[in-house]
A and B are shown apart, each in its own frame.
Chain A
Amino acid sequence: MFKIENIKRDIDLMIILLTILLLLIMPLVYNNYFFLNALFLASLYMISSTAWNIMGGFTGLISFGHAAFFGIGAYTLALSYNNGLSPWIGIWLGGAIASLFALIISFPLLRLRGHWFALATIAVGEALKLFFNNWDYVGAARGVELARKEYSFAWIYFIESIYYNYVAVLILVISIFIMFLIIRGRIGYYLQSIRESEETTMTIGLNPFKYKMIAMVLSGFFTGVAGALYAIRYRYIDPFSVMDLFISVQICLIAIVGGVYSFAGPLLGALIVTPIAEYTRALIGGAYGARFFGLHLLIYGVILLILSLYAPGGLMDVLKRFLRGRYR
């Protein structure tokens, strides 16, 4: 799979490698706090939107509740960090707890199909947010602040924000490659088969429920990892910053805009959408007051509408049409 001639023919792998290269080089080229922040968020969304895509794009399970996994990852890291656990373990623990939650909710939710599944995920996400907002152990509405440690790599605590970018890239590389290998292996094919037809999938001798559950657990895991990264970087979380419906929306929007039928679609989406969002939010919003807070969402809406009418496969679709002939 990783021979040079294969990579050249594989557009997904090309985009993955180029994206990683870009994330490694850009912070050195343009070391500006605001830009670094946008890149950091882009890395987060690359992980979580790729994870969303395992469910939404490959399996056909549309979720509007990924903020639940994101938030659980963030809270797990924050609480374990404050209790003295190394964040290098905490990040993956965040993923593990999120995937456990995914496993638990998969039993009732996977009985639902299509529209109903999507609606139920909204309810799960919002209910969990409100629950955390009232749960004293996790600080309720006050949220959790990460304890001060000495500035060090071991505690992922830095004065200069550029280091956070490289931590994010490291976690991104690990996460993306694990997900890539899974999606390109037999499980990835089975998930796509389920998306196209559960009935047909059963004739191969596969239990669709089992594989949908695997999709949810994987998706939950890496979304949780992304949430943990958020917590380690911003060092303060509350239910409305890590569990809001807006996070779910952002995660799936990026996947949709980038393209849900290809593995690298969400990477492309995050690379283009996050900076646009951050700049419109901070620059225009800052200059013209609170009402422009909605502007980036308005822009999302317009992009989304245009894409759903003309390129349902997202930017990857556009790119593939552009490169037709050179890639399979």
Chain B
Amino acid sequence: MSSEIIFAQAIVDGLLMGSLYALIAIGLAMIWGIVEIINFAHGEFLMIASFLSYFLFIYLGIDPLISIPLAFLTTFGLGYLVQKGIINRILEAPFLTQIFATFALLLIIRNGFFVAFGPDIRSVTTWYSEATIDLYGIKMSIVKLFATTIVIIATILLHLFLTRTYLGTAMRALSQDKTAAQLMGIDIKKVYAIAFGLGAGLAGIGGALLTSFYYVFPEMGVPFTLIAFISVVLGGFGNILGPAIGAVIIGVLQSIGALIMTPSMKDILVYIVFLAILLIKPTGIFSR
């Protein structure tokens, strides 16, 4: 294979993976931007959905792609309840308390799954798991193409929701100006709960998509949470496009990085890039 092909292959892989990252990052950005909470447990919602679609496949033979709506509804519901039962009660608390509430959630969900299902790494093999399409020598995994398509559909639906519906408009108003939104008669706590639900639900869709080509285990959310944070810091959380673009850039960089670096160097670089972005990008620096 020529080096151009290898390089092109890396970019295509990065774009496909980056689109999945985008979905997860948009979810995190929604919660961060609207509820003004850092959701450390974001990757845990992804993991829950992944486990759900894994078990549906193993016990009921339901294809992971079919179980996406169910994964979304489950994580949406959980997110809604988390906001209603926990976060809404500490909205006025110091940010230390808020950070620790979502951190507690991370510990409970991740280690709850650890205790319940053990540290085993599970995976699913479907008829399309290994299938690829060959395009001018570049191989594209069918399942990742599926995933990208679903991500695009979900993002468009979310965009329509945020711009065309009353609830979506309320959310955008809330992220701009809390007081004004209250004056408009918006029930803040309910909108928060739905926003957290949607954010978690997006991570859930990501988790269900991962089931068919990735591994399912209690700590699987860690790298995805990290990447989501980097994407949001890179792209900002004022709109959908920012974190999405951030995520795609990270996906491509990661994929190219894997070509030219050892895995351990690549991991260090991820953190260095994260720090550099944090320090350079002024929007991250003066909020709060």
Contact = CB atoms under 8 A, between A and B. Distances in A.
Contacts, number: 131
A119 B229 contact: yes
A131 B272 CA distance: 11
Nearest to B222: A245
Contacts of A8: none
Contacts of A123: 271-272, 274-275, 278
Contact of B104 (A60, A291, A301): A301
Nearest to A288: B115
B119 A291 contact: yes
9 contacts: A112-B278, A112-B279, A114-B287, A115-B38, A120-B275, A130-B271, A260-B96, A290-B118, A304-B103
A108 interface: yes
Nearest to A305: B104
A256 interface: yes
Secondary structure of the A contact surface, majority rule: helix
A197 to B, nearest CB: 13
A301 B105 contact: yes
Interface residues of B, number: 46
Interface in B190-222: 218
Interface string A108-121: 10011111101110
Q: On chain A, which size bracket covers the interface?
A: 35 or more
A133 interface: yes
Given A127-B268, A291-B118, A56 B107 contact: no
Contact of B107 (A114, A260, A304): A304
Given A111-B279, A130-B271, A304 B104 contact: yes
A292 B114 CA distance: 7
B197 to A, nearest CB: 19
B106 A301 contact: yes
Contacts of A211: none
B108 A305 contact: yes
Contacts of A115: 38, 95, 99, 288
A66 B12 CA distance: 38
A263 B117 CA distance: 40
Given A114-B288, A123-B275, A294-B115, A312 B97 contact: yes
A120 B273 CA distance: 11
A114 B286 CA distance: 9
B101 A305 contact: yes
Contacts of A114: 95, 287-288
A304 B98 CA distance: 11
A309 interface: yes
B144 interface: no
B239 interface: no
A108 to B, nearest CB: 5
Nearest to A108: B279
B265 interface: yes
